[in-house]
Structure formats: C-alpha cells, structure tokens
Amino acid sequence: MFDYIKGKLVSKLPSQTKGATMVVENNGMGYLINTTARSLSLAGEDEADIKVYTTLIHREDAMLLCGFLNREDRDIFNILLSVSGVGMKVALVLLDEFSGYDLISAVIRGDYKELSRAKGVGPKLAQKIILELKDKLINWQKTAPVDISDIAEEKDVPDEALSEAQAVLLSLGYSVQEAKAAIKAACKVVLKKDSSEEILKEALSYLARE
C-alpha cells in the first residue's frame, strides 16, 4: 500500500519490550512505524527530514506499519516474512542483529549458527530460514531466467558469480536494469571477483547510495 513515507521525524522509542518504533509526520498525519534499533540510531534527531521504506502488515486484530531507512532492509524484511514460522517480530530482530548484507551472506553460506545469535532465533528456526530463503534468493533464475549478457563483459568474473548475484538482487525486488548497473559498479571495485558474496556486498552498497 505504501512504498515509502517522507516527512518529519516526530519521535522515536527504542523499547526493549515492545520493539523499536518511530513516528513520522506527513501532511498532518502521524504514522507509527515499527522498526529496528539499528534504524533508529541512524534516523537523526526529532524534527529531522526522513524517508522510511515501509510494509503494511494486515492482521485480524490490527494493521501495523513497519519501516526501514533503506529499501534493501525493507525488501529483505518482506522476504523473511515469507518463511513459515517467521513473523514481524522475528524479522525485525534479525534485521536488528544483522545488516541486510550480513543476513543474506549467512543464508547463502548456510551458516545457521550465525543466524542463531539473534534473540529468539534457535538453531531449528535458523536452519528453516536458510533452507527456504536460499532457494528463493539463489534459485530465482529457475522461474525467471537471468540474462547476464550486459554484464558478462567483466571477463575476470565467472558467469556463475554474476548470475547468482543478479538472481539475489532480482529476488529482493530490484529491476533488471538496477541489478545490472549495481553489479557492473561492484565488479570495478571488488578484489575477490569469483565470489558472488563480495559482488553482492558492493552491489547492495551501490544501490543504497542511489
């Protein structure tokens, strides 16, 4: 329903029990947004101009708005919600404990012990998250074939690393054009060019700046 809300930061509450929230005012309306302590720390002071990428969660007993300061975290949050057994609170806890890149990296590596560091995420749930998300992120090309012709000019980068990096970006909701531009930019600076993880890290950083 809402892609993002742009307005004034009215207040922020880093609650330890009910979760972090912020209120953003836009056109005389104050939006209560559930978020992470990580996002609050980057949100600036009250009355600052702010842009929050949002997701509306519709429950039987409530409608809740969740938001993040960058699109990447919002899109990863949405993918986390697609995992059975992962609700809003667990998704927010994961994105509070890990940056978007670190979370994706742990999933791709299959490092369930790393994910288990997040409060309330035990080994079984961590393994379930990895099992379901890895398939969604890496195997995107099975349902939507990835065309790397525009980026295959990076001769020293294996096609597999390029296609895997692009598949993850597409699964996060970025367009083909955005993904290819980010990967091209990333390939110019990464040192370990046979690693899709390193390419992804730089590509996501590039997209966050755009």
Q: Record the pTM.
A: 0.77
Query: Do 30 and 47 have their domain in common?
Result: yes
User: What's residue 193's pLDDT?
Assistant: 61
User: What's residue 154's pLDDT?
Assistant: 55
CATH number for the domain harbouring residue 197: 1.10.8.10
Single out the residue in 88, 104, 138 at which a domain terminates: 138
**pLDDT mean values, one per 10 residues, the chain (210 residues):** 90 79 94 93 89 91 91 88 89 91 84 90 92 74 56 67 82 82 83 73 78
User: What's residue 96's pLDDT?
Assistant: 92
User: What's residue 177's pLDDT?
Assistant: 85
**Ramachandran angles phi, psi of 36, nearest 5°:** -115, 155
Q: What is the 3-state secondary structure (H, E, C) of 164-200?
A: HHHHHHHHCCCCHHHHHHHHHHHHCCCCCCCCHHHHH
User: What's residue 32's pLDDT?
Assistant: 95
User: What's residue 131's pLDDT?
Assistant: 87
Query: Do 88 and 123 have their domain in common?
Result: yes
Domain of 78? 72-138
